[in-house]
Amino acid sequence: MKVEVNAAGQAIEPGVREMAERAVLLALGPFAPTLAGVRVRIGEAGLAGALPGSQYTVMLRVESDPGFLVIERDAVLASALRRAAQRARRSLDRLLSRASFQGVAAAGERATGARPSRRRGR
């Protein structure tokens, strides 16, 4: 699984890049074989030289079949990264569990070749 971290046209500090990669790998590591990659984009408030107290925006795009996007905002960048990664993990878990779900026959339908039941009184 490839993790790509970028920002809106500016450089990201190495500590922030490592923090983002760590959050994604911890949360989505078990699903790595099913993912093509993950892109993390940190909003303008998360860049070097941002004003203190501003909101950080983290957009985490999971490239799978189907792919999806998670957006989180927080005053603390680490919290926004962790929450985005955990939300992506829960979403991916739901998607994969739905894909592996075997449908159940509707009430009244039977498997091919089964005999009809014999009820008394009807």
Say how many C-beta atoms besides its own lie within 10 A of residue 27's C-beta.
22
Indicate the class that CATH gives domain 2-99. Answer: alpha beta
Q: Which of 85, 10, 84 is nearest to 46 (CA)?
A: 10
* Window from 17-26, 61-70, 99-108 with minimum mean pLDDT: 99-108
pLDDT in tens, 75-89: 888 999 999 999 999
Compute CA 15 distance to the chain's CA centroid, rounded to the nearest angstrom: 23
Euclidean distance between CA atoms 28 and 34, whole angstroms: 10
Helix-strand-coil split of the chain, %, nearest 5? 40, 20, 40
- Residue 22's SS3 state is helix
Domain boundaries, the chain: 2-99
Q: Is the pLDDT of residue 106 over 60?
A: no
In the predicted model, what is the mean pLDDT of residues 90-104?
77
pLDDT tier for residue 10 given thresholds of 50, 70 and 90: confident
- Residue 68's SS3 state is strand
pLDDT in tens, 26-71: 999 999 998 999 999 998 654 556 556 668 899 999 998 888 999 9
